[in-house]
Amino acid sequence: MKLIDGNLETTNIEVENTINHIGKRVSLHGSIYKIRRMSGFAFVLLRTKREIIQCIYSEEFSNFNLETLKEESCIKLTADVIKEERSKLGWELRMVEIDILSEPLAESPIVINNKLVDTSLENLLDYRPITLRNEKERAIFRLQAGVCKGFRKFLSEQGFTEIHSPKIVSAGAEGGANIFHLNYFGKDAYLAQSPQFYKQMMVGVYERVYEIAPVFRAEQHDTSRHLNEYISVDFEMGYIESFEDIMNMEVGMLSYALEELKENYVHELELLKVALPNVSTIPSIKFMVAKELISKKYNRAIKDFEDFEPEEEKLLSEAIKKETGSEFVFVTHYPTAKRPFYAMEDPSNPTETLSFDLLFRGLEITTGGQRIHNYKEQISKMKSLNMKVELFESYLMMHKYGMPPHGGLGLGLERFTSKLLNQDNVRLSTLFPRDINRVTP
Amino acid sequence: MKLIDGNLETTNIEVENTINHIGKRVSLHGSIYKIRRMSGFAFVLLRTKREIIQCIYSEEFSNFNLETLKEESCIKLTADVIKEERSKLGWELRMVEIDILSEPLAESPIVINNKLVDTSLENLLDYRPITLRNEKERAIFRLQAGVCKGFRKFLSEQGFTEIHSPKIVSAGAEGGANIFHLNYFGKDAYLAQSPQFYKQMMVGVYERVYEIAPVFRAEQHDTSRHLNEYISVDFEMGYIESFEDIMNMEVGMLSYALEELKENYVHELELLKVALPNVSTIPSIKFMVAKELISKKYNRAIKDFEDFEPEEEKLLSEAIKKETGSEFVFVTHYPTAKRPFYAMEDPSNPTETLSFDLLFRGLEITTGGQRIHNYKEQISKMKSLNMKVELFESYLMMHKYGMPPHGGLGLGLERFTSKLLNQDNVRLSTLFPRDINRVTP
């Protein structure tokens, strides 16, 4: 019998620590990202976990033939770290010996080692396993991981408990036809459109909960902002005094995540030339006021009194930015007719709900609001909407046996990332997008 | 226009800080968990985010009628924090005033405020939204959140990048019939049995990746250890020198998570009387050696030469514990016939794979191993298994264009939690379990 003792020691150095090894011979590993042949020597770019490091090959000090190196070969490298003041890092890596761990069978049909992957969106996504190896492509999803890390740290510090709610469900939270159907051992089941019911139930347990997990929407839209599967950052909190408590929490969460990026993701921010937005305060405007503002300012007739057209969201963001400098804007008091059955109506005007969306650079990234917590109120609302109350028995259990005033929100992780990077298509911030035409790779 | 400034200040205190308020009048909120009427006064247990706090009601100092208080009412409480040496906390909370925020419509049909919820498993799960409010029930999932937190912190420190892979997929990773089918806009699609393909692809991008997310198995088993949807903790790492690198990483990850619990979850550990296992070293034994050991020691004929029977897993854990004291045991070199097509065979004996399971207290909680990274090797393996290679084109892209030696594992979060708590059914550590008979709540 062997004993596995969790020993993670290695003789390999991490590229980030190279500067501590000046004057020494070191071991490291990575993929050959690019070979630049010069006269008498070559620059060999090595792709490691997070960075791409320039190494120098020369017959003078390299004990192998450059021709044995292929792009996308994985190697173990022995190199000398030499002080070099002309290098902006202050040192350079001279390749001494290599051990080729694996070689590609073929060259990638798409050039992935230029500054940008210069191809169609279609190709970029079809070849995701390869195109993600591009320096900038992969930086996008490192930043996304950083955003999640920031969100989790913040929510944890604020006393939220992480939950894992089921994705196979017996009823949809959002209603409507936009739901994927599943044959579940002969029973009808669906893919969760949102963790809505579960996070509310869990407010009765922990007061504050959050979940970062996939949700599924069978929407037939084929636009630059729709995905049929996306990561929803959900939180829900009890004992709120106003639905603005939720908006304040979101401002805190966004600020915290951007700070996390600023502190620990400088490499990626610089690579992608990201200018982080200011999120210390976010202006808030009522839905109908916003509608009228856009109508007047841009001389547009209001066609839809219950929702924004995508163009209106862009114009509103533009107007707010001009007026206040903010690239975010909360829109509150959406019409009751357009919000789900669990949305709390404004007691002073039941045609409006105590709800909000958050727009960021012209795109809705969050929907949230206060929920009905009183059993009788919820039942009578459902009946007025001709809903079959008996289908929601387990959901309504919490109302029946006692719930605090509460509310929460859902934020689309890919939409937020995408707008943060000023992209024009949410797919660019989706690792492996699912849309009505795409279910691979 | 209003400005939302992220202000989270509140006049409410957190129960954990009560000791800093001795001698003061404070505000706090929570649900009434239990009312214990004594002669002339009452103990009122208040359920807050994480703790259950005993308050004292007496006509002497309480300015409200005790009869207005119902169990599961949500209240805002004004109380005096009084130094009291007879209390084990050193202080007591005298209820002065209350503001009733909400009241239940009915009393829970199941008693949830005793030490244990004394009911059948069926009822416990049917009434999940309510039964989870029990002090011990909710402690289980706080611990589970702590485990996830520990895993993430460890993996992040080890240079792993968090990824979000799609759950709607075009082909199953595990093969077989145990896959949920989905009609995806007229195309065939499935629910991911594992993030296997995607985490491997992402090794080509970041070298080390992890994901904690739901996976779906359409298994018809109705046992105490099977779920049809569960949370899989997956990691995958490149540039391994041996599949033991993965096992070492797992030992590190488990140790780290248990330390996290020891440091930050004392309240829950005490409540559930959890004795944390020692995980500093884990013995490792080859599959066939383990089979023979069990056969000899327990005088059982070996019936299945390719897998363990559940009973054998229990006996093996028992034997290893007796011999080494360890409640964990790695079993390595599973037969090639029983491992998926991407498992790497042992070059010195191709009937065995460079793979492992981790058993904990008699139950398999992890499956892992080294994967084939060479394109030709993978293709020929698939052909030998009569697989349709063309269905796996996007998966095989990574092999074709270069992949480092790599491997990884998947750990079942609910199974791990359940065994940590010495439960006899994995459903007890599943927030809202899905099994062949259950898709609600």
pLDDT tens-digit series, residues B261-276: 999 999 999 999 999 9
Q: Which of A2, A3, A4 to mutate to test the interface with B (most CBs of B within 10 A)?
A: A4
Question: Residue B232: enclosing H or E segment and its boundaries?
Answer: strand B229-238
Q: What angle in degrees, to the nearest 10, is found between the helix axes of B310-324 and B287-298?
A: 90
Total-model pTM: 0.98
Domain boundary among B102, B126, B146: B102
The neighbour count for residue B364, using CB atoms within 10 Å, is 17
> Inter-chain contact A105–B401, Cβ cutoff 8 Å?
yes
* pLDDT of the residue at A173: 67
pLDDT band for position B286 (cuts 50, 70, 90):
very high
In chain B, which residues have their Cβ closer than 8 Å to the Cβ of A197? 441
Same domain flag for B171 and B307: yes
Nearest to A6 among B149, B207, B280 (CB): B280
> Inter-chain contact B206–A49, Cβ cutoff 8 Å?
yes
Q: Average pLDDT, stretch A406-425?
A: 98
Same domain flag for A373 and A270: yes
Determine which of A287-301, A408-422, B80-94 has the lowest per-residue pLDDT on average: B80-94
Same domain flag for A71 and A196: no
Same domain flag for B231 and B354: yes
> pLDDT of A4-47, one tens digit each?
999 999 888 888 888 899 999 999 999 999 999 999 999 999 99
d(CA A369, CA A194) in angstroms, rounded, equals 14
> Inter-chain contact A373–B102, Cβ cutoff 8 Å?
yes
Nearest to A101 among B31, B166, B405 (CB): B405
- Cα angle: A66, vertex A72, A77; to 5 degrees: 55
* pLDDT of the residue at A16: 81
Domain count of chain A?
2
Identify whether B119 is part of a domain.
Answer: no
The C-alpha of A228 sits at a distance from chain B's nearest C-alpha, in angstroms, of 9
pLDDT band for position A175 (cuts 50, 70, 90):
low
Q: Is A52 helix (H, G, I), strand (E, B) or coil?
A: strand
Same domain flag for A70 and A204: no
Q: Domain containing B77 — which CATH number? A: 2.40.50.140
Q: Average pLDDT, stretch A335-352?
A: 97
Same domain flag for A25 and A150: no
In chain A, which residues have their Cβ closer than 8 Å to the Cβ of B330? 4
In chain B, which residues have their Cβ closer than 8 Å to the Cβ of A206? 49-50, 138, 142
pLDDT band for position B119 (cuts 50, 70, 90):
very high
pLDDT beyond 90 at B366: yes
Same domain flag for B194 and B280: yes
d(CA B53, CA B34) in angstroms, rounded, equals 10
Q: Which two tokens stand for residue B206?
A: 């970041």
The C-alpha of A245 sits at a distance from chain B's nearest C-alpha, in angstroms, of 8
In chain B, which residues have their Cβ closer than 8 Å to the Cβ of A131? none
**Domain of B71?**
15-102
The C-alpha of A325 sits at a distance from chain B's nearest C-alpha, in angstroms, of 12
Same domain flag for A149 and A271: yes
Chain B residue at shortest CA distance from A132 = B205
Instruction: Name the residue with tokens 């309480």.
Output: B62
Nearest to A207 among B48, B145, B248 (CB): B48
The C-alpha of B190 sits at a distance from chain A's nearest C-alpha, in angstroms, of 10
Q: Which two tokens stand for residue A425?
A: 């298509």
Identify whether B7 is part of a domain.
Answer: no
Q: Domain containing A325 — which CATH number? A: 3.30.930.10
Q: Are strands B91-102 and B161-162 parallel, antiparallel or unpaired?
A: unpaired
The neighbour count for residue B420, using CB atoms within 10 Å, is 26
Same domain flag for A191 and A94: no
Same domain flag for B52 and B139: no
pLDDT beyond 80 at A177: no
Identify whether A383 is part of a domain.
Answer: yes
Domain boundary among A86, A102, A118: A102
Q: How far is CA B32 from the centre of its chain?
A: 29
* pLDDT of the residue at B175: 66
> pLDDT of B26-73, one tens digit each?
999 999 999 999 999 999 999 999 999 999 999 999 999 999 999 999
* pLDDT of the residue at B174: 66
> Inter-chain contact A138–B229, Cβ cutoff 8 Å?
no
